[in-house]
């Protein structure tokens, strides 16, 4: 598989655009199911989570394979994935959309934070969610879950294609999470998506200034009246000159 490293300038652009805007960018390219469903931030962090995906897949637990003694195994996939996830990446856990039992707790998330991981996402739940919310790492889940993941899930595969909240996630895809939700951008589209979303965001900022000043949205949003595009270019030039 071709690798597409995340450029620093692309990361910087993606940190400043909304998931909603990126969703429109993906929709224009025929990709309609890239938003991870029913997953929310534990707390606001003040900027977007951005990073390539590093995945962990869970499967339904079988009782004889999932006793507490399993956690003593240093190669246990859950523990091993925490120590393998590269700095700057987002750890994405396919927990079968089940928040009945936890995907991880505050100790493992703290370890990810200490290793420089950019964020953590599960379509299941976290235990110790109140503690994770206070950590300086973006974390997204369905809802709090106190039971150990061994109760219903077995960590089985590391860094393989997964489904998380009905979205397809391939290792290396770019995750962008804001205070609303998370989108998965195929790695080969990241640069152009960041450029287009940045331009769209600039125009939407202009639109808000006009709407707040009493302008009608007809011809303005979308820009079907060319005079609005001319006004936008003047507005952007003046803004950038400041």
**Per-residue pLDDT at 203:** 96
The pLDDT-based confidence of 1 (bands split at 50, 70, 90) is: low
Query: Whole-prediction pTM value?
Result: 0.93
pLDDT digits (tens, 9 = 90+) for 31-86: 999 999 999 999 999 899 999 999 999 999 888 887 877 778 888 899 999 999 99
Please state the separation of Cα 13 from the chain's center in Å. Answer: 15
Length of the chain: 242
Please state the separation of Cα 216 from the chain's center in Å. Answer: 34
**Per-residue pLDDT at 107:** 96
């Amino acid at each position: 598989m071709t690798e597409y490293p995340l450029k620093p300038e692309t990361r910087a652009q993606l940190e400043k655009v909304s998931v909603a805007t990126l969703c429109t960018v993906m929709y224009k390219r025929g990709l309609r199911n890239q938003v991870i469903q029913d997953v929310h931030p534990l707390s606001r962090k003040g900027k977007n989570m951005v990073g390539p995906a590093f995945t962990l897949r869970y499967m339904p637990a079988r009782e004889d394979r999932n006793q507490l003694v399993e956690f003593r195994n240093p190669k246990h996939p859950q523990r091993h994935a925490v120590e393998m996830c590269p700095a700057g990446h987002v750890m994405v856990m396919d927990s079968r959309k089940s928040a009945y039992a936890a995907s991880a707790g505050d100790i493992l998330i703290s370890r990810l934070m200490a290793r420089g991981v950019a964020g953590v996402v599960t379509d299941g739940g976290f235990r110790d969610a109140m503690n994770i919310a206070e950590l300086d790492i973006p974390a997204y889940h369905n809802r709090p879950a106190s039971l150990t993941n061994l109760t219903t899930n077995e960590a089985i595969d590391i860094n393989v294609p997964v489904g998380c909240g009905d979205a397809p996630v391939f290792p290396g895809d770019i995750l962008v999470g804001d205070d609303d939700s998370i989108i998965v951008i195929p790695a080969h589209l990241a640069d152009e998506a960041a450029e287009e979303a940045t331009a769209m965001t600039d125009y939407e900022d202009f639109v808000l200034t006009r709407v707040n000043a009493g302008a009608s949205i007809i011809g303005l949003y979308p820009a079907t009246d060319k005079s609005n595009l001319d006004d936008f270019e003047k507005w952007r030039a003046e803004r950038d000159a400041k």
